[in-house]
Amino acid sequence: MARMHEVDYNIYGDDMQFVEVELDPMEAVVAEAGGMMYMDDGIEMETIFGDGSQQQSGFLGALVGAGKRLLTGESLFMTVFQNRAQGKKRLAFAAPYPGKIVAVHLSEIGGELIAQKDSFLAAAKGVSIGIAFQKRIGVGLFGGEGFIMQRLQGDGWAFINAGGTLMERTLAPGELVRVDTGCLVALQPTVSYDIEFVGKIKTALFGGEGLFFATLRGPGRVWLQSLPLSRLAARIVSAAPRIGRGGREEGSVLGGIGRLLDGDN
C-alpha cells in the first residue's frame, strides 16, 4: 500500500478551534465539503467520489467508497486540497460547532479508528474513510448515532471534532464504562461497543437521559465529548421563542402587551 501523505499541522483556539495544515509540494488532505476556512495561493481543490485513498482502484472502487459514505448519511463527494506550488503552503479547517479538534496519528493506535459520522473533519490523503457496522442487534435497533460509524484506516493524520470538552480515556482489559450514545466521539476497534437499556421504566421515561446507554468495554482508548451536537440543537430548539405573524413572541406577557399597544387585539 502506498505511503500516506505526511502533513504538518497546528491547532489554534480554545473553544472555537481550527486546524492549520502545512502541505509540501504535491501533498494533499481530504475533507468534508464546507469545512475549509482559508488556503494559500497554489493549493488546488478537486471534488472526488469517496475518499480518494489508494485502497480504491478505478471507477468501481471509487463508486464503492462513495456508496459507503452515503450509508453514513454523508455526501457522495469529498474535497481534496493539494499543494501544486513549489514551496510549502497552508490551509485551515474550522470546527463546525464549539468544542475541541483532536489530531490522531493512525499508525500510533494500530492503523484504525472508529468515529461518529459527524466528528470527522479532515485527514491526510491516503487515509481510507469507510463505514463500521456494529453486528450486535441491540446497537442496530437502538444505537441512534452509534449504529453506523465511520472507520478511518491508514498510517497518517486524521482530525476529528468533539463538542464541548474532550475527554480521552484508556480502558483496561475488561473495564466497562457507560456513556450517552451521543457523547461517544471515537474509539479503537479493540474496544467492544454495545447498547444497554437504562433499567427501570420510570427512570427511562422521566429521567431525561434517554432509554439507552452505550457500553464500552476495554481494552483500548475512547474519546468522549461533553456536548453532542444533537443535544445542543435540541436545547436551542426548545428555547427558541414562538414567533407570531407579526414577528413577536406569542404566549408571553410582553408579546400580549405589544399587540394591545399596536391595536392588534
CA torsion sign, 101 to 102 to 106 to 112?
Answer: negative
CB neighbour burial string for 52-91, b if at least 16 within 10 angstroms, e if fewer: bbebbeeeeebeebbebbeebebeeebbbbbbeeeeebbb
pLDDT surpassing 70 at residue 199: no
Q: What is the pLDDT of residues 61-79, one digit of tens each?
A: 555 555 555 554 555 678 9
Tell whether 41 is covered by a domain: yes
**Would you state the cell numbers that stand for residue 173, as one nine-digit string?**
482489559
DSSP, residue by residue, 53-79: -TT--HHHHHHHHHHHHHHTT--SEEE
Instruction: Give dist(CA 119, CA 140) in Å, integer.
Output: 20
Instruction: Give dist(CA 81, CA 89) in Å, integer.
Output: 11
Q: How many domains does the chain have?
A: 1
Q: What is the pLDDT of residues 201-252, one digit of tens each?
A: 555 455 444 567 888 999 999 999 998 877 777 777 877 765 444 555 544 4
Tell whether 250 is covered by a domain: no
pLDDT (0 to 100) of residue 238: 76
Tell whether 242 is covered by a domain: no
pLDDT (0 to 100) of residue 119: 87
Q: Which domain holds residue 169?
A: 8-227
Tell whether 42 is covered by a domain: yes
Tell whether 252 is covered by a domain: no
pLDDT (0 to 100) of residue 196: 77
Q: What is the pLDDT of residues 163-196, one digit of tens each?
A: 999 999 999 999 999 998 889 999 999 999 887 7
CA distances from 56 to 30, 62, 130, 136, 232 (A): 14, 6, 11, 28, 36
Q: Which residues does residue 128 pair with via DSSP β-bridges, in sequence order?
A: 153
Instruction: Give dist(CA 201, CA 217) in Å, integer.
Output: 25
pLDDT (0 to 100) of residue 145: 44
pLDDT (0 to 100) of residue 236: 78
pLDDT (0 to 100) of residue 111: 93
- Mention every residue, 6+ apart, whose C-beta is less than 8 A from residue 239: none
Is the model more confident about 127 or about 233?
Answer: 127
Are the CB atoms for 155 and 209 separated by under 8 Å? Answer: no
Phi, psi of 148 (to 5 degrees): -105, 115
DSSP, residue by residue, 120-147: EEEEETT-EEEEEE--SHHHHHH-GGGS
Is the model more confident about 253 or about 18?
Answer: 18
Tell whether 262 is covered by a domain: no
DSSP, residue by residue, 41-59: TTEEEEEEETT--TT--HH
**Would you state the cell numbers that stand for residue 53, as one nine-digit string?**
485513498
**Would you state the cell numbers that stand for residue 218, as one nine-digit string?**
476495554
Q: What is the CATH number of the domain that holds 175?
A: 3.60.160.10
Tell whether 218 is covered by a domain: yes
Instruction: Give dist(CA 207, CA 202) in Å, integer.
Output: 7
pLDDT (0 to 100) of residue 135: 52
Are the CB atoms for 54 and 126 separated by under 8 Å? Answer: yes
